[in-house]
């Protein structure tokens, strides 16, 4: 098999795999219950990032989607976006992408029905500090970021990398707001948890410190 085709199939397969995982837990937690719910979440997203950044996000997303489609189709006239860095980088990307999928399943199982695509507190919301949350406050972001970096390495495509790096930045910007929301909800309990955990890099401070 042509290696370029192999890496494109790997990229698509891994992308579908994460979609299956997110879709399964999204339905299980009723994150995507209705069009009305999604509409409300889009309004929330606009309030979170501001109209200017939302417009930029739409533009980058359109460019990214076009770039991903062209990368997957690989027409002979579309070659200028490819970075010739070597197949070993792409093999590394496959490994880097596979591991976070299993990690995200672990995260979802611990988060259970409290997962949401929007910044919101559910009824009877609990502070989870076990499993992947014991040392990292945002393991969901960590898993998605590492997985996304893996896809960038597989594609070695400028437009794909631009799109994914932008999505990492957009999501990283949400973390302070999410932490403030948790502080408002859980107060000192969350502040103590912050002392014993890292934002994205695991903290190994003793629970008794």
96 contacts: CB under 8 Å, gap ≥ 6: 146, 147, 149, 150, 153
According to CATH, the topology of domain 3-76+84-196 is 1.20.120
Q: How far apart are CA 135 and CA 115, in angstroms?
A: 19
Return the ∠ at Cα 201 (arms to 200 and 202), rounded to 5°: 110
pLDDT at 110: 87
- In terms of C-beta density within 10 A (0-12 exposed, 13-18 middle, 19 or more buried), how is residue 75 classed? exposed
Strand partners, 82: 157
C-alpha distances out from residue 128 to 109, 113, 131, Å: 11, 12, 9
Separation between Cα atoms, residue 19 and residue 183, nearest integer Å: 31
pLDDT, residue 14, reads 96
Residue 45: the pLDDT is 54
Q: Pseudo-torsion of CA 135, 104, 177, 56, nearest 10°?
A: 140
Q: Tell me how far apart the 2 most distant CA atoms of the chain are, in Å.
A: 61
Other residues' Cβ atoms within 10 Å of the Cβ of residue 14: 20
Give the mean pLDDT per block of 10 residues along the chain (209 residues): 90 94 77 46 56 80 93 91 94 96 93 73 81 94 96 96 93 91 92 93 70
Predicted confidence at residue 81, as pLDDT, reads 93
Q: Which whole-number Å values give the CA distances from 158 to 5, 78, 93, 145, 186, in the listed order?
A: 18, 12, 15, 17, 42
Model pLDDT, residue 22: 86
Residues 6 or more apart from 157 whose CB is under 8 A from it?
67, 71, 81, 82, 83
Q: Identify the pLDDT of residue 209.
A: 52
Phi/psi for 136 (5° steps) reads: -130, 130
Q: What is the pLDDT of residue 125?
A: 81
Q: Which residue has the tokens 């399964």?
A: 24
Q: What is the pLDDT of residue 102?
A: 95
What residue spans define the domains of the chain? 3-76+84-196
CA distance 29 to 11: 27
pLDDT of residue 133: 94
pLDDT at 37: 46
Q: Residue 145: what pLDDT? A: 96
């Amino acid at each position: 098999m042509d290696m370029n085709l192999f890496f494109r199939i790997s990229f698509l397969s891994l992308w579908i795999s994460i979609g299956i995982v997110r879709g399964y837990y999204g339905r299980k937690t009723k994150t995507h219950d209705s069009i009305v719910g999604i509409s409300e979440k889009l309004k929330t997203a606009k309030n979170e990032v501001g109209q200017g950044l939302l417009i930029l996000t739409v533009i980058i997303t359109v460019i990214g989607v076009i770039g991903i489609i062209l990368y997957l189709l690989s027409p002979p006239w579309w070659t200028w976006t490819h970075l010739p860095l070597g197949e070993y980088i792409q093999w590394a990307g496959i490994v880097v992408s596979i591991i976070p999928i299993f990690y995200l399943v672990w995260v979802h199982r611990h988060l259970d029905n409290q997962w949401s695509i929007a910044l919101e507190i559910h009824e009877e919301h609990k502070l989870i500090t076990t499993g992947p949350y014991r040392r990292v406050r945002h393991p969901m972001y960590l898993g998605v970021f590492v997985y996304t970096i893996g896809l960038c390495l597989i594609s070695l495509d400028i437009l794909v990398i631009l799109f994914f790096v932008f999505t990492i930045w957009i999501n990283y910007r949400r973390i302070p707001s999410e932490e403030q929301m948790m502080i408002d909800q859980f107060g000192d309990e969350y502040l103590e948890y912050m002392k014993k955990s890292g934002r994205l890099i695991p903290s190994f401070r003793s629970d008794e410190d």
